[in-house]
Amino acid sequence: MKTLFALVLGLLCNPASALVFDQVQPSENTLTFAYKQMGVLLDGKFKRYNAQVSFDPAKLGSAQARIEIELASIDTGSTEADEEVVGKKWFNAKTYPTASFVASSIKALGGNRYEASGKLSIKGRTLDVIAPVSFQQSGARGVFDGSFILKRLDYAIGEGEWADVTTVANEIQIRFHFIVNAAPSKK
Amino acid sequence: MSKPTRYTRTAMTLHWLMALLIFAAFPLGVYMHELPLSPTKLQLYSYHKWIGVTLLGLIVLRIVWRLRHAPPPLPEQMPDWQKRASAATHHLLYLLLVAVPMSGWLMSSAKGFQTVWLGVLPLPDLVEKNKELGVALAELHEGLNIVLLVLVALHLAAVVKHQFIDRDDILSRMLPKGNRP
């Protein structure tokens, strides 16, 4: 009884120290984006991507995140646009089938807010990105929510006539909602 | 006081402005939907929708105006069946001038593209995004436009007939006075 009490107390006082969130739940995750076209707000999503996350709120130094996105799995909301954006002027998905994000550091901003920095690679170009992320923990379930603005022309997404940002805006908001659970065995 | 022989200035302005916009929106609609995806196509779609929303606003004003201001009478010698045909055509035209832009707006909503008038004023989406409904509404929009085209052709044919065969100068009812001798 005493040991059980101590265990519960330990979990209550410092629940995070015992948990490493690394069980990504692909069926619950969403990776979406929003952009403006001729002043009209539109959104879309990616259907296939592979995320690997390892996150211990008590050990941010050892946090890891890596996401690989299959660009051809894009759903822009219209078939015509889906076919267009995998083409050479946009993603050139034949030559560059995936985009990837690899986190390099995670900083605590206080409360449940963090800031993830890392390298985002699309279409053969790699640039630093910073995204604010919130982390909501309930028991062994962890929910990451974050968004950042990607400027598509930084990655030459939309070349030639499509480089005109008055039609399709340069700013694309990327939003992610990832469920990452802690492995029960690690409790 | 003699009965008016012309439409009011407001009615004339609405008529000719709408005629101009319809003659822009119609060919634009026919042309743009065959284009491959390009920024030009996206721009033309927006312009077409902006014109359509403008026309919808104008037809509402026009109907309200028409309900309060009776049109000038038709020539007395005109046979009754022609008067009835004229009234029917005009009522159908009013109906289509509401139905055509409405079907376009609905189609836009169903296809998941909100209509933002002049790129500034967002119109509410009337229906949820729904692919099948979008396809059905696109067909409806096209069908209604074909009916509108036929009615406009009939309207113009009647003008030609009255002007050059009957010579009853009915066209002057819709022309400003300054243009008349």
The string of pLDDT tens digits covering residues B65-104 is 999 999 999 998 999 999 999 999 999 999 999 999 999 9
User: Is residue B2 in a domain?
Assistant: no
pLDDT attached to residue A186: 45
B112 and A81 in contact by Cβ < 8 A?
no
User: Is residue A4 in a domain?
Assistant: no
B132: containing domain: 9-179
pLDDT attached to residue A16: 45
% of chain B beyond a pLDDT of 90: 90
B42 and A37 in contact by Cβ < 8 A?
yes
User: Is residue A42 in a domain?
Assistant: yes
User: Is residue A129 in a domain?
Assistant: yes
Is any Cβ of chain B less than 8 angstroms from the Cβ of A81? yes
Q: Is A117 helix (H, G, I), strand (E, B) or coil?
A: strand
Is B176's pLDDT higher than 70? Answer: yes
pLDDT attached to residue B60: 98
Q: Report how many domains make up chain A.
A: 1
The Cα–Cα gap between A13 and A2 comes to 16
Over residues A104-153, the pLDDT tens digits come to 999 999 999 999 999 999 999 999 999 999 999 999 999 999 999 999 99
Counting as low any pLDDT under 70, the low residues of chain A are: 1-18, 185-187
User: Is residue A136 in a domain?
Assistant: yes
Is any Cβ of chain A less than 8 angstroms from the Cβ of B116? yes
Q: Map tokens 């005493």 to a residue.
A: A2
Q: Looking at per-residue confidence, does B6 or A4 come out higher?
A: B6
User: Is residue B156 in a domain?
Assistant: yes
User: Is residue B14 in a domain?
Assistant: yes
Closest chain A residue to the Cα of B36, Cα to Cα: A80
Q: Is A75 helix (H, G, I), strand (E, B) or coil?
A: strand
pLDDT attached to residue B181: 45
User: Residues A35, A165: contact at Cβ < 8 Å?
Assistant: no
Take residue B63 and report the two structure tokens written for it.
């109907």
Is any Cβ of chain B less than 8 angstroms from the Cβ of A50? no
% of chain B beyond a pLDDT of 70: 96
Q: Pick from A40, A83, A162: which is nearest to B113 by CB?
A: A40
The Cα–Cα gap between B36 and B63 comes to 38
Is any Cβ of chain B less than 8 angstroms from the Cβ of A160? no
Mean pLDDT of B29-42: 95
| A 20-49: CB under 8 A from B | 37-42
User: Is residue B81 in a domain?
Assistant: yes
User: Is residue A13 in a domain?
Assistant: no
User: Is residue B4 in a domain?
Assistant: no
pLDDT attached to residue B3: 67
Q: Pick from A37, A40, A161: which is nearest to B38 by CB?
A: A161
User: Is residue A66 in a domain?
Assistant: yes
Mean pLDDT of B141-157: 97
Measured in angstroms, the CA of B161 and the nearest CA of chain A are apart by 44
Q: Pick from B42, B112, B122: which is nearest to A77 by CB?
A: B112
Is B155's pLDDT higher than 50? Answer: yes
pTM given for the model: 0.86
A91: containing domain: 19-186
Q: Map tokens 């390298």 to a residue.
A: A119
pLDDT attached to residue A184: 72
User: Is residue A9 in a domain?
Assistant: no
Element spanning A109, H or E: strand A98-110
A39 and B45 in contact by Cβ < 8 A?
no
pLDDT attached to residue A3: 59
User: Is residue B142 in a domain?
Assistant: yes
Closest chain B residue to the Cα of A87, Cα to Cα: B37
| B 52-71: CB under 8 A from A | none
pLDDT attached to residue B1: 46
Measured in angstroms, the CA of B42 and the nearest CA of chain A are apart by 7
User: Is residue B115 in a domain?
Assistant: yes
User: Is residue A12 in a domain?
Assistant: no
Q: Report how many domains make up chain B.
A: 1
Mean pLDDT of B141-156: 97
Take residue B155 and report the two structure tokens written for it.
């309207």
Q: How many CB atoms lie within 10 A of CB B162?
A: 19
CATH number at residue A33: 2.40.128.110
User: Is residue B1 in a domain?
Assistant: no
A162 and B39 in contact by Cβ < 8 A?
yes
